[in-house]
Chain A
Amino acid sequence: MTPDPSPDAPRPSPAEALAAFEAPARAALARAGALGIVAALLWPVQAYAVAASVHLWAVGTWNPVPGLWLVALFVTAGAARALLEARAGGIAHRAAEALMAAERERLIAAEAARVDRGTNSAAFAALLTQKLPLMVPYLVRYRPAFLRATVVPLTLVALTLPVSWAVALVLLVAIPLIPLFQALVGIAARDASAKQMDEIADLNGLLSERLSALPDLHLLDAGGRALSGFAVRAEALRRRTMAVLRVAFLSSTVLEFFSALGVALVAVYVGFNMLDWIGFGDWGQALTLAQGIFVLMLAPEVFQPLREVSAAWHDKATAEAVARDLAEVHADPGPRALGAGARAAPLPGPATLRVSGASVLRGAEKVPLPDMALSPGQAVALTGSSGTGKSSALLAIAGLVPVAAGRIEVAGRVLDDATADAWRARLAWVPQRVHVPDATLAEALDPRGTGADPAEALAAARAGAVVAGLPEGLATRLGENGAGVSGGEARRLMLARALLARPDVVLADEPTADLDAATAAAVRAALRRLAEGGALVIVATHDPVLVREMDRIVPMPGAARAA
């Protein structure tokens, strides 16, 4: 469990959020960066081998013995560089992975208990499986590149200094120019890249929404319109994105232009200096060919780390956006369900229920609950027109939403975090919106894993025929929203699940909706039997027949908008 941050704490900026997020991995990333720096500094060794070889060629004294040794030096240094870079990447990846795993666990914990539906399930899934992984490129690419950029360019410039102060000066002047231009263009690019991300997410959101509406669009003969509408929207997105990219790519082009210009300047200077056309910049003697080749080979590598940072710039902007999203999720944990939702020994004592002066929040709306004192064996109907909070009342009684005021007592104890799991161990639940988990029907019917034979419960809920009609009977996976069975069938299965649990308390939300008259009658009889067997049965319903068959009617006080 994560500690709740104070709700009044100021929201951190995206950069701050990112810094906080990556803090645990900082040491490992620094190590990866250091290895990368060592790898980059092997380049001068290779440059030396090439310069020396070319010198031997030019003076006409190349022989296999010193010549091939230089080749061996070149190849060995290259191999070492490749190995070190791979090693550095591995360290960075592992650090990033650990960070991701920890954050995933935190997110899962935060969302599992949250009950205000502040995030929908799809948004949560997207955060977990799509947005969070976007942090990886930043950690693995940008961070080490940034470290390299702070050390490597200056070190290489220092290596050119003994050869020619003019070359060092040219490079030294070019280095700060690059971040300067980068910053100028980059600011525009960052906003742009964040926008582009949102747009692509939008396009995918639109795609999945349209796909899910496709059967309806087909029935409304709107399939063709939806296609062209989609194409128009995608085209608009492309235009907007391209406008953004034209600016964004300028930043890397500026970099490339300057690094190319820097290299070209060095090459021309070296050539002119060797010919003694430019007399300044050396240490009293014109550059030799070997020196010329050496500085020429170092020049592009001075800019390389800066270019890598630039290429990963987008990763940083993306990571900041994700860090901000994560910080927002954690900043407002929202109302939480009572208890942990773990298995617990049932709360002892008779299953009584007392609600006094209680109300719950539904968004900003305050929903007052009716006062009631109920005892085992009673069958109670909560009534009221749509929107008066019947379902909210059932949720509160099950400890699935906390009360905003007043109290609920169950089996003689206050319903709170300490008692909720134990209270729920005595409950059965027939939800209005059926969610069939990704499991076999047998598992779905017996969520507590008691191993009880469901035949009797299925018969009582008139669901035996439903199971018999499924391809694999109880071993069938029904999938999302009970696809494969009709609404009425799914509801009968949920009732069978409740009966199988042999509960002391049954909470049922519109248990007869979607059912034909005969089945509805059977469901009513099953609920009555449960009450006669000593269970406390509470139904939220506007089915007048069901209401009539209950012992008590508790009308909802009616919703009042919170000020």
Chain B
Amino acid sequence: MRPLADTLRLVMAAAPGAMLLGTLLSVLVLVMGAALLGLSGWFITATGMAAMAGAVFDVFTPSSGIRFLAVGRAGARYGERLATHDATLRALAALRVDLMRRQLARGFEAMARARAPLALTRITADVDALDGVALRLALPVVAALVTHAFAFVALGWLTTWATAGAVVVFYVAGGGFVLLWLARRAARPSVAGERAAQALRRGAVDMLRGQEDLLVYGRLAEARAALVAQGDEADAAARAVDAAERRAGAWLAFAVTLAAGAALALGGWAVSAGGIGAAEAAIGVFVALALSETLQPLRRGMAELGRMRDAAGRVLAREEDGAETRAAVPDRPGAARLSVEGLGFRRPGALRAVVEGLSFDVRAGETLALTAPSGGGKSTVLGMIAGVLDPTSGTVRLDGRDIVAFDGDLRARVTLVPQRAALVGGSIRENLHLADPGAEEADLWRALEAVALAARVRALGGLDGTLGEGGSGLSGGEARRLVLARGLLRRPRVLLLDEPTEGLDEATAERVLKGLRAALPEAAIVTASHRVAETRSADRVLALGAADGGAGPG
């Protein structure tokens, strides 16, 4: 329940004013609705009795009261809808921003894991589920309870305490019991339904992405059948939720009937015993009927409670892998620009270190190519230099200073262009501005020239040419070059390039590497390379595994 409470707090904090207003107006709507029916019933009964007795009766005050309540209720309802939707939209944004902030705080590797479409759809589905926490769950519960408290006091005062008690028992105890039953009953299938929907989504993505493989290996027909079966499973869960919700709905309707029936029976006794008048007894019946409005909105929320709890548990999971901060190693004045000393990395529990005892220096303006068999730790080394991976041993120094000491400033000095870099949908300008929002038109073009992409961008309609989601619209090699241009715009002193020219033909690769160097003549560049073009254009080549004293297997 804790994550759900946390979610609620977060959502409330996003729009406390709108939430409060929404709740107040909800109560007002419910109370005015009950008052309207109660007053109408009283008015008719009292008038009827006055007519029978031939007595004088002031009809104007109650009838203007009825008109006021009728109009006021409609107005309050309008305000309530606006306030609650406004609050929901604010909460929706707050939840998503909070989610992104959490992801940003969780470290580079967690971010990289969450970028898989699978993880993404799960995250969005979870946030969607949480959108209803306030509007469909917390707010109606509070409004209902407050209204029933009002109603209990008013009924006890106007009719009898027995009637007031019966109404509150059938509604709050009876209705509450049914709603809790619904929450319990629907919890499992609502979670299962979401799982099945996720599996269906995963299967759908899997089928289309793997379509070529599935066709070649004659598995497409099976994949189709499996997907259909997955959908049926989701349907079965939805059916179970719906059945529980409908059963609960019938019981809630019955609880309303029983409450009104009790008011009818108790009213009869009270009237015949001379305790209250017929008009007052009528109030009990009509208010009991009108209060049914308090239960209706709760059904949906209760049916989704299990699903919300499940989602909140994942979305608000505590940031588990915020690695503890290392202490900086003292400065070493006069050292080379970038200096790596005794660097090592070993995954927790792994038998073999990915990198061990690696040392090298790179001067300003120098290019070093790291080579290794694939899986040999090149990317790991770049990650450690960029400060996104914590080495298990050794230090990385920049201008003699341990990079740990740079803290947030490291990003301004060191830029890593990873192997799988992402573009975002939007214009080419927007993509480049991610690196430097203040970059001028001319800077952007220079960067594009440097990576031999200017002509292609012009063909796309210039800097305002738009890319689809994730940068679609560019070929693999073009996207690669745009990502490199983006790295250039950071004007870093150390540029780390992970397989920078992958997917480019030989001639283009050479041009791009020359362009990069020309654009940043002063930078220390380290590449993780296995292409001849990349090693040829480097000033030095360092084979990992051979670095720790030259005795490596190569």
Contacts and interface: CB of A to CB of B under 8 A. Distances in A.
Interface residues of A, number: 160
Contacts of B73: 256, 260
Given A121-B209, A218-B111, A293 B44 contact: yes
A112 B224 CA distance: 7
A30 B167 CA distance: 36
Interface stretch (A19-27, A237-245, A528-536): A237-245
Given A203-B96, A212-B422, A256-B74, 16 more contacts: A78-B261, A86-B247, A124-B204, A204-B128, A211-B114, A213-B423, A214-B104, A219-B388, A253-B77, A260-B74, A275-B47, A424-B216, A424-B218, A485-B375, A487-B502, A516-B373
B239 interface: yes
Contacts of B3: none
Interface in A478-525: 479-481, 483, 485-489, 492, 501, 513-519
A374 B218 CA distance: 24
A127 to B, nearest CB: 9
A548 interface: no
Contacts of B228: 104-105, 108
A549 B422 CA distance: 35
B45 A220 contact: no
A122 interface: yes
Contacts of B357: none
A526 to B, nearest CB: 16
A345 to B, nearest CB: 10
B211 interface: yes
Interface stretch (A58-66, A154-162, A350-358, A451-459): A58-66
Nearest to B243: A90
B117 A480 contact: yes
14 contacts: A57-B45, A90-B243, A93-B239, A119-B208, A121-B208, A125-B204, A204-B124, A208-B121, A215-B112, A245-B85, A341-B218, A400-B212, A483-B116, A518-B373
B86 A514 contact: no
A220 B217 contact: no
Contacts of B198: 129
Contacts of B50: 275
A9 interface: no
Given A62-B268, A214-B114, A78 B205 contact: no
A97 B417 CA distance: 48
Given A53-B267, A238-B90, A544-B506, A82 B254 contact: yes
Of B52, B234, B372, B422, the most chain A CB neighbours within 10 A belong to B422
B434 A222 contact: yes
10 tightest A-B CB contacts, nearest first:
A341-B220, A78-B257, A488-B374, A289-B48, A234-B93, A57-B278, A260-B70, A121-B208, A82-B253, A221-B411
Contact of B268 (A53, A237, A466): A53
B7 interface: no
A277 B51 CA distance: 10
B108 A292 contact: no
Contacts of B231: 101, 104-105, 108, 128
A62 B272 contact: yes
Contacts of B41: 54, 293, 296
B265 interface: yes
Contacts of A276: 51
Q: Which DSSP category, helix, strand, loop or mixed, fits chain B's interface? A: helix
B400 interface: no
A1 to B, nearest CB: 11
A63 B265 CA distance: 10
B388 A211 contact: no
A488 B477 CA distance: 17
B374 to A, nearest CB: 3
Interface stretch (A163-171, A173-181, A264-272): A264-272
Interface string B346-372: 000000000000000000000000011
B16 to A, nearest CB: 16
Contact of A289 (B45, B434, B499): B45
B31 to A, nearest CB: 15
Interface stretch (B20-28, B59-67, B136-144, B304-312): B59-67
A210 B434 CA distance: 12
B416 interface: yes
Contacts of A213: 115, 422-424
A245 B82 contact: yes
B261 A75 contact: yes
A398 B216 contact: yes
Contact of B250 (A85, A97, A399): A85
A499 B504 CA distance: 27
A288 interface: yes
Describe A's contact surface by its main secondary structure: helix
B384 interface: no
A124 B264 contact: no
Nearest to B105: A223
A384 B194 CA distance: 47
Contacts of A395: 212
Given A82-B253, A125-B201, A261 B70 contact: yes
B49 A58 contact: yes
B214 A341 contact: yes
A71 interface: yes
A207 B267 contact: no
A542 B533 CA distance: 13
A112 B207 CA distance: 7
Interface in A338-381: 339-344
A128 B374 contact: no
Interface string B322-336: 000000000000000
A283 interface: no
Contact of A78 (B254, B379, B417): B254
B386 interface: yes
Nearest to A385: B505
A53 B261 CA distance: 11
A399 B220 CA distance: 14
Given A253-B74, A263-B70, A81 B212 contact: no
A220 B415 contact: yes
B265 A398 contact: no
A313 interface: no
Given A71-B261, A219-B386, A431 B268 contact: no
B48 A288 contact: yes
A12 interface: no
Nearest to B131: A200
A315 interface: no
B128 A292 contact: no
A50 B264 contact: yes
A268 B81 contact: no
B124 A429 contact: no
B17 interface: no
Contacts of A274: 44, 47-48, 51
B437 interface: yes
B70 A264 contact: yes
Nearest to A128: B204
A54 B374 contact: no
Contact of A260 (B36, B85, B203, B434): B36
Contacts of B184: none
Interface stretch (A144-152, A224-232, A318-326, A411-419): A224-232
B272 A63 contact: yes
B218 A209 contact: no
Contacts of A100: 235
Contact of A513 (B210, B272, B424, B503): B503
A199 to B, nearest CB: 10
Nearest to B415: A219
Given A203-B96, A487-B374, A208 B120 contact: yes
Given A340-B220, A341-B218, A516 B371 contact: yes
Interface string A415-456: 000000100110111010001011000000001100000000
